């Protein structure tokens, strides 16, 4: 007679990592697919077709994640984000308008991240503690906080660099290169920043455990 394995109580179940809460690697990849569709379709069929293609891909990603019973939050956020970008492109009547929201979002987010380091509340650490229900004890430990400082600065530098490059391409109306920059400075830089974030979290956990 077989016995089922005991299910650990909620307090002992593993807390999803920050990457898992963002939808995992698949969530990061799928978030870039609507932009890929827009960049690919626009030169071939024009703005209207590119808008509909990006929206269709965003919805398809959401349906696919629903079928696979994966977290829907990244898909819903992606659909809303693409809808905003598509609306701006439609209202401006220019393909480059599709990237306008992302350009200014990068500036605002980059400045907020940089400011959080200045006031000694690095946003990467704050978000990690909030999402995982952890304490903010790392703030009183210089070594633990320094790891979150580094991770937050990396995200800020990447976002501000993304703003600088894409804003320049937007101003000179290089729409095709703007699309290339959006993709090239999207997932690759996010992957690097995510690795630094994982290192910072492990460092903070290790330091906090050693001093407790």
pLDDT tens column, 75-126: 777 788 889 999 999 999 999 999 999 999 999 999 999 999 999 899 998 9
Which pLDDT band, with edges at 50, 70 and 90, does 64 fall under? confident
| pTM of the complete model | 0.77
Write b or e for each residue in 172-188: b if 16 or more Cβ atoms lie within 10 A of its Cβ, otherwise e. Answer: eeebeebbebbeebbbe
Is pLDDT of 172 > 80? yes
Q: Do the Cβ atoms of 84 and 51 come closer than 8 Å? A: no
Which pLDDT band, with edges at 50, 70 and 90, does 138 fall under? confident
Write b or e for each residue in 122-151: b if 16 or more Cβ atoms lie within 10 A of its Cβ, otherwise e. Answer: bbbbbbbbeeeebeeebbebeebbbbbbbb
Whose CA is closest to 55, among 95, 82, 75? 82
Is residue 69 exposed (0-12), middle (13-18) or buried (19+ Cβ within 10 Å)? exposed
Rounded mean pLDDT, 142-161: 91
Is pLDDT of 157 > 90? yes
pLDDT of residue 103: 95
Residue matched to tokens 């626009």? 42
pLDDT of residue 107: 96
Which pLDDT band, with edges at 50, 70 and 90, does 163 fall under? very high
- Identify the residue with better confidence: 10 or 64: 64
Whose CA is closest to 169, among 103, 80, 87? 103
Residues in the chain: 212
pLDDT of residue 27: 59
Rounded mean pLDDT, 43-65: 88
Which pLDDT band, with edges at 50, 70 and 90, does 14 fall under? very low
Cα 15 to Cα 21, 67, 169: the distances in Å are 10, 24, 41
Which pLDDT band, with edges at 50, 70 and 90, does 18 fall under? low
């Amino acid at each position: 007679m077989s016995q089922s394995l005991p299910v650990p109580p909620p307090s002992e179940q593993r807390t999803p990592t920050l990457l898992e809460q963002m939808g995992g690697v698949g969530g990061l990849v799928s978030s870039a697919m609507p932009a890929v569709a827009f960049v690919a379709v626009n030169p071939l069929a024009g703005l209207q077709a590119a808008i509909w293609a990006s929206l269709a891909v965003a919805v398809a990603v959401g349906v696919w994640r629903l079928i696979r019973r994966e977290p829907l939050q990244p898909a819903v956020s992606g659909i809303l984000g693409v809808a905003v970008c598509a609306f701006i492109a439609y209202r401006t009547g220019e393909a480059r308008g599709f990237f306008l929201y992302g350009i200014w979002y990068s500036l605002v987010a980059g400045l907020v991240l940089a400011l959080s380091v200045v006031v000694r509340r690095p946003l990467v650490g704050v978000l990690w503690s909030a999402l995982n229900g952890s304490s903010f004890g790392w703030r009183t430990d210089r070594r633990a906080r320094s790891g979150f400082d580094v991770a937050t600065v990396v995200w800020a530098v990447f976002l501000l660099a993304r703003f600088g490059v894409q804003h320049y391409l937007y101003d000179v109306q290089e729409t095709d290169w703007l699309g290339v920059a959006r993709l090239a400075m999207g997932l690759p830089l996010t992957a690097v920043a995510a690795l630094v974030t994982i290192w910072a979290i492990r460092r903070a956990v290790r330091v906090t455990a050693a001093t407790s």
